[in-house]
Amino acid sequence: MIHERQTIVSRSLDSPAPSQAGWAVPRPATRVLQLVGARADQVMFAVALVAGSALRLWHINSSGFNSDEAVYAGQAAALAGDPELSKFFPIFRAHPMLFQFLLSIMYRVHFSDVGARLLIVAIGLVTIILIYKVGALLYGTSIGALAALLMAVMPYHVIVTRQVLLDGPLTLCTTLTLYLVARFALSHRPIYLYATGASLGLVFLAKETGFVLAAAVYAFFALTPQIRIRIRDLILSGLVMMVPIAAYPMSTALAGRSDTAKGYLVWQLFRRSNHSWTFFPTVVPPAIGPLVLIAAVAGLWFLRRERSWRETLLISWILVPCFVFQLWPVKGFQYLLPVAPAIAILASRALIRVPAVLLVHRRAFAPALRAVLIAVVLLSLTLVTWDRLQPPTSATLLAGAGGMPGGRETGEWIAESTPENSVFLTVGPSMANIIQFYGHRKAYGLSVSPNPLHRNPSYEPVQNADLMIRSGQAQYIVFDAFSASRTDYFTKRLNDLVEKYDGRVVHVEYMPGADPGPEGYPPRIIIVYEVYP
Amino acid sequence: MPFICLLLVCASLGYAPAAAADASSETATPIKHFITLMQSNRSFDNYFGTYPGADGIPPDTCMPVDPPGETSKDCVKPFHVQNFEEDLSHTHLTFTRQYRAGAMDGFIDAFRKRGELFSWTMGWLNDEDVPFDWNVADQYVLFDRYFTSATAGSTPNRMFWVSGQPGVTNLNQVGIPTTGWGDIPTIFDSLQASGISWKFYIENYDKNKDINYRNRGDGGISAQFAWAPVLSFARFIDDPDLSKNIVDLNQYYTDLEQGTLPAVSYVVTVGSSEHPPSNPAAGQRLIRKMVTALMQSDAWPSSAFMWAHDDWGGWYDHVSPPQVDQFGYGFRAPALLVSPYAKKGFIDSTTLDHTSVLRFIEDNWGLAPLAERDANANSFINAFDFTQPPRPPALISMSRTPPAQLIIPDRSKIYGVYAGATGFAVLVVIAALVWTESSRLRLRGSRRQALKRGHT
């Protein structure tokens, strides 16, 4: 038995992975190319880290937090004991708190926007390293390095890992899980199955929606009969998985907030759809990169003769979350980020190997074609990413797709210039979150439903905004173009209040970098009105 | 003094507007905008008799029904009054009977002699009845030795407030003379002469209705001229330079918005005066609205907003008022101060009366006293701390109920659980990777040894 296991390890770890042959055949014609080729993987991986760092750090603090970032940072600050933010951000909200827990430790030492975002950037870079490891494990270092490079410049990952969101840490945990599943598939050693369980537990703690990848793991094992799992190992792995998962209900129970967690669970399960079914097909492919998707699909087709459990694993990793989230009524831009590493690896596999297959009779040209294809794909990704990193010129940004221009400045103005205990009315909860985070003032979104089934349990509805102003309970009204672009109805209600109470403009934020309009100034994206009863 | 004379000359020559800005800004304290508001008919013990730390109702108080004890030995203890629907008598005669030459035991007897329900006078309100005032007291300054100036009702007290004298020689005289107040000098005359900006804001004031001592109006609106002394002076009605400063209260908000709040603002409420039997809530809301607007404005850092009640309204108060002259003092009335320089949660026990308002204005803007009373009055300067930087504005709640108690979970438990769970998962992953790595190294080692053995 021991001998068999050693044999497996020996075969799986010491023998060259299929990819080595893919990069090596045809081998460089000259000695120089051979030398370059020998180090190409390392160079490419180093470029991935440098480019990934540069793109993630570029003007990282130019905009303040958007609504979701404010919520997570607010939770972390509350957990760290910040007396001001504890008033506005309950520690327990809709998700488990692995990232908030880590961020709160940092906040205990230093509280800043940029610090929180640097933590996310670090998580993004570790994810890139893990993608390299997964790619190298499955197909060799060349494909691993290229996958890391694709991920490093991919708009989807760059944008999300510049923001204080849960999806960056989630993707790190899911990629770690992918790596461990691959290692188990290669080695059949139960310890990797246990580690997979532990990693899936971390996935849940990072963001419970990522747990859908447990189904991807199951689908992979179900579709790969050659990988046999003993029931005992499966049970042990499940038990190991339950330990981190238990942290969520246990912490809420110990803190006496089990009802809060249940409330969020009910709301998450029954909340209304926030986007149409076309949302993901519309927004995700451009963010991943159409050429990357084409390459991944083309690789599956052209390399179908090489098909192995590796592709089954990656395809399971992609299709299961896509299927589930397409059916799930609630959709968000960053929800499908965990599938991006698998797509990047499949695309890299295609870019490295397909040229040799296509030019089977002219193998000498394969390196050149490979280089051109890689360059085109990388260029297409980098250009789109660069464009997305420029200051937004439209207020109709997707939630989670970037910071909120002017939000931090407005919040800081509010903190400095309005009386403590002032109350603000906004179109929706997004701006309200930002005001509460930066302005330390209570803010209510008009669009928050009075029906508990239709609102985030954290949000308080406005029963009668008019009465709030008349009775002196609210002193300011805040218009923001981002929320206005999402709801005409509540924007009109807000503007009606401004008109009725003769709102006086006390602060304006303009679209940064935008050209002046006919009025002589750039579009106004945030307006703070003062109202008297 | 020479400076004031110079201003007087300038004003007489028509240069007042030019001088106004300068004169208004030259102050002895950082207070550039002083607002004083007068409410009605409450005693200190009626509003703050149970306020912790203040000189409130003594614990063993029981007011005798018949102070000499000839017809009854009964007494009435102070009680929480609710659904009160009476306007208690608050004439000079009532004061005299309640005061009983300093014995302070005639509060019930005064009403018994009038054949009225006598126990109401012992009623007090608590923090749920006057939440805003109590919140102000918590955050700013409450005066617990602020006496009404006259041992009578509104009219002489409000005259003291603007002129330092009662306007009458006999406090039994009720109402305003048909000829008005004549040429009694007021603080507004001093301010006008010195080029210091001022306004008199009146709630629901409509200049077109021309309600004043000549045309007294009917019903509630008649209170405007009764409570706003300037409407009983011919010169403040007829002289456009003076009458332009008497405006509706809505102008206050406009002035705050436009940065035109004058140096000195007098405010009289009518419908929101808290005059029994009306509910104090209306007055509380109005004052909160005014203070909120002030806090939202640019004037806040250099402002002080003070309000008091003109007379005691017939309500019980346990502190015997010092008698400084034939007119007063009367019983204590609630008085509060909000200012960025106000001491926080401070109970000021300096002996004050309505003329202390005049004294503060005169001291701050360098004006001469109007009368003996304000010349001798204490200022409430002790309520301020000008060594502190101006306090940032913080809106004051209308509710005494604290915001929903924030439940702060035990953070250490959360940290412990997450650290344990995360640490466990990470250890399992590391163990898998390290164990495999060491297995690989062992395997390589055994291979090398096997190869060596093969060679040998």
**How many angstroms separate the CA of residue B401 from the nearest CA in chain A?**
14
Q: How confident is the model at residue B14 (pLDDT cuts 50, 70, 90)?
A: very low
Q: Is residue A533 less than 8 Å (CB to CB) from chain B? A: yes
Give per-residue pLDDT as tens, B151-191: 999 999 999 999 999 998 888 887 888 888 999 999 999 99
Report CB contact under 8 Å: A199, B425: yes
Contacts of B288 in chain A (CB under 8 A): 472
Contacts of A245 in chain B (CB under 8 A): 421
Q: How confident is the model at residue B10 (pLDDT cuts 50, 70, 90)?
A: very low
Q: For residues B282 and B272, is the Cβ–Cβ distance under 8 A?
A: yes
By Cβ distance, the residue of A97, A205, A421 closest to B394 is: A421
In angstroms, the CA A203 to CA A205 distance is 5
Q: How confident is the model at residue B1 (pLDDT cuts 50, 70, 90)?
A: very low
Report CB contact under 8 Å: B409, A195: no
Read off the pTM: 0.81
Q: How confident is the model at residue B18 (pLDDT cuts 50, 70, 90)?
A: very low
Q: Which residues of B touch A (CB under 8 A)?
A: 253, 257, 285, 288-289, 292-293, 295-296, 300, 392-398, 406-411, 413-415, 417-422, 424-426, 428-429, 431-433, 435-436, 439-440, 443
- A290-302 vs A366-389: helix axis angle to the nearest 10? 150
What is the ipTM metric for this complex? 0.87
Contacts of A530 in chain B (CB under 8 A): 257, 296
Written as six digits, the tokens of A13 are: 């770890």
Domain boundaries, chain A: 30-389, 407-530
Report CB contact under 8 Å: B418, A247: yes
DSSP strand pairing (A476-480 vs A423-426): parallel
**Tens of each residue's pLDDT in chain A, 533 residues:** 333 333 333 333 333 444 444 444 444 455 655 666 668 889 999 999 999 999 999 999 888 999 999 999 999 999 999 989 998 998 887 788 999 999 999 999 999 999 999 999 999 999 999 999 999 999 999 999 999 999 999 999 999 999 999 999 999 999 999 999 999 999 989 999 999 999 999 999 999 888 899 999 999 999 999 888 999 999 999 999 999 999 988 888 877 777 777 777 777 777 777 788 889 999 999 999 999 999 999 999 999 888 899 999 999 999 999 999 998 888 888 899 999 999 999 999 999 999 888 887 787 888 899 999 999 999 999 999 998 888 766 555 544 456 678 899 999 999 999 999 999 999 999 999 999 999 999 999 999 888 877 777 778 888 899 999 988 889 999 999 989 988 999 999 999 999 999 898 999 998 877 777 777 788 889 999 999 87
Higher pLDDT, B234 or B408: B234
Domain boundaries, chain B: 2-383, 410-456
Residue A31 confidence (pLDDT)? 61
> Order of strands, edge to edge, in the sheet holding A524-530?
A442-445, A423-426, A476-480, A524-530, A504-510
Nearest C-alpha neighbor of B128 from the set B50, B16, B39, B12: B50
In angstroms, the CA A333 to CA A386 distance is 18
A497: Cβ–Cβ under 8 A, 6 or more apart, which residues? A425, A465, A466, A469, A477, A503, A531
Q: Is residue A242 less than 8 Å (CB to CB) from chain B? A: no
By Cβ distance, the residue of B257, B395, B429 closest to A176 is: B429
Chain A residues 160-179 within an 8 A CB cutoff of chain B = 176
Consecutive H or E run containing A423: strand A423-426
Bridge partners for B252 per DSSP? none
Residue B89 confidence (pLDDT)? 83
Report CB contact under 8 Å: B428, A418: no
**How many angstroms separate the CA of residue B397 from the nearest CA in chain A?**
8
The phi and psi torsions of B39 (rounded to 5 degrees) equal -100, -170
Q: Looking at B70-181, which runs of residues are DSSP E strands?
A: 75-76, 79-80, 123-124, 141-143, 146-147
In angstroms, the CA A188 to CA A401 distance is 40
Residue A266 confidence (pLDDT)? 76
By Cβ distance, the residue of B285, B411, B418 closest to A81 is: B411
Architecture of domain B2-383: 3-Layer(aba) Sandwich (3.40)
By Cβ distance, the residue of A192, A195, A250 closest to B417 is: A250
Residue B391 confidence (pLDDT)? 93
Show the DSSP H helices in A255-396 as ranges.
258-270, 279-288, 290-302, 309-327, 340-358, 366-389
Cα nearest neighbour of A199 on chain B: B425
The phi and psi torsions of B128 (rounded to 5 degrees) equal -80, -20
In angstroms, the CA B15 to CA A129 distance is 79
Higher pLDDT, A65 or B11: A65
A266: Cβ–Cβ under 8 A, 6 or more apart, which residues? A453
